[in-house]
Amino acid sequence: MRYALLDSCDPVRAATLFYGDAATLWLDSADTDHPSSRWSYLCIAPIATLQVRAEELSRGEDGFADRADEVRAWIRSTERQRIAEGPPFQGGAAGYVSYDAAPLFLERFQSRHMPRSDLIEFNLYDTLLAFDLEGQKTWVMSAGLRAANAEEDDALADAKIAEVLTRLGDTRRAPDVDVPLGWSHPDQAIDYIAAIKRTQDFILDGDIYQANIAQNWVASHCDVSSAFSNYLQMRERTPAPFAAFGHFEGRVLASASPERLISASATGRVVAEPIKGTVRREADLIEDDLAQAGLLASEKDRAENIMITDLLRNDLSIVCEPESVEVTSLCRLETFSNLHHLVSTIEGDLSGDKDGIDLFKAVFPGGSITGAPKLRAMEIIDELEQRPRGAYCGAIGYVGFDGALDFNILIRTIDHLPTESTLLAGGGITLMSDPVGELAESELKAERIAPSLFRVGKKA
């Protein structure tokens, strides 16, 4: 592994120079006040690509196993050098898994919806920029690989780094375009409220304890420049610790996610951090203190968070060492740019015969965006939501050459497809849920991503 260390750190400027390149992925720790926001990564010029198309759903878990082995082969093909003092991620596989890929992870789950786009895309990156937001330095790194199973070539690595440094000298500015996306709302408010009430019927019947139900908005297609410009505006309005901008084949993903799905260190220490419980931040300090106190005292939000924490504890127990899984923080309040959330932390030690891909499979889709029990909640979601979720509630992140991984949950995300752009928002429904209040919460989440949805005179 070769590198150049720069005494500057401007991920926005760097992303502006590379976002138009196919398969560029910006893992963007935009909320610099968050404890998980030290590092951002700009992954460029992949040397291999893995895609899973919608038609592969028919292969179920067998299809997933084959593709998982491909990613394992990328990671394990040959021993990679690491820079001891360098960033946590020094190259490997990075990309997304859409929620629509869920049947590949849960054999007993089948969706009635036909996906409108690819299910999974991962790219193998030997070259990337790692931004140390704390130390204000930039690592330009390359392993100098020609193919997934190739040996490292220092001369090629130096050439790749030199090319990146040349491009960083470009004086190009971010696209100054503000293209209105023209959102429409196929799910009317009355339909969403009806879905919430139907969910509560399922709870009363004993099917589930809770389910996460979403409504969706649709806009016209926009090109990658417009999508990037909109993303920069989004990250300024609502900076998030697990944000991302990905230019993939057939879709562009723009995410301001506050939520981590799962992470694991190279030594196998596992962390999951589900979010359940949301309230708006208030400009008035006294009102904001009252909002925080109300969230912490909310019986409904605490119960919801505890149920999902227990679900994730069980998921992790499948792949972690016996008795290593523990809840290290329960229902703490975390403050983000526009909202307060209740967050819990579950930790464990990955079993010696398991790897990061086994871990991802055990927790996907995340319990906080499905419900409990997970399978039945997903079946109810599939029945009540009228369109496929697409990338929404999937995950985006990386698996490093050293086996470490980190993935978000794709909430607060715009999914730009060739024919349309989609935005979904929702929340966990329990017996204590007030349908009108849940409608307001989902609209609050969507408003932070697309403020034009709720401007005066515009129906949502």
Query: Other C-beta atoms within 10 Å of 35: how many?
Result: 8
Please tell me what DSSP assigns to residue 364: P
- Of the residues 56, 121, 273, 276, only one is catalytic, namely 276
- The residue with tokens 């292969």 is 59
- The residue with tokens 């040959």 is 78
Query: Other C-beta atoms within 10 Å of 295: how many?
Result: 20
How far apart, in whole angstroms, are the C-alpha atoms of residue 339 and residue 343? 12
State how far the alpha carbon of 430 is from the alpha carbons of 29, 40, 206, 413, in Å.
32, 36, 12, 24
State how far the alpha carbon of 57 is from the alpha carbons of 104, 112, 292, in Å.
6, 12, 43
Please tell me what DSSP assigns to residue 20: T
Largest CA distance in the chain: 66
- Of the residues 56, 152, 259, 379, only one is catalytic, namely 259
Please give the helix or strand (H or E) that residue 257 lies within, else none.
strand 251-257
Phi, then psi, of 277 in degrees rounded to 5: 115, 120
CA-wise closest residue to 407 among 346, 349, 365, 352: 365
Query: Other C-beta atoms within 10 Å of 341: how many?
Result: 20
Phi, then psi, of 397 in degrees rounded to 5: 170, -155
Per the DSSP assignment, residues forming a β-bridge with 399 are: 93, 405
> 61 catalytic, yes or no?
no
> 323 catalytic, yes or no?
no
DSSP-assigned states of every residue in 194-237:
HHHHHHHHHHHTTS-SEEEEEEEEEEE---HHHHHHHHHHHHHH
Please give the helix or strand (H or E) that residue 122 lies within, else none.
strand 120-125
Q: Which residues are catalytic?
A: 259, 276
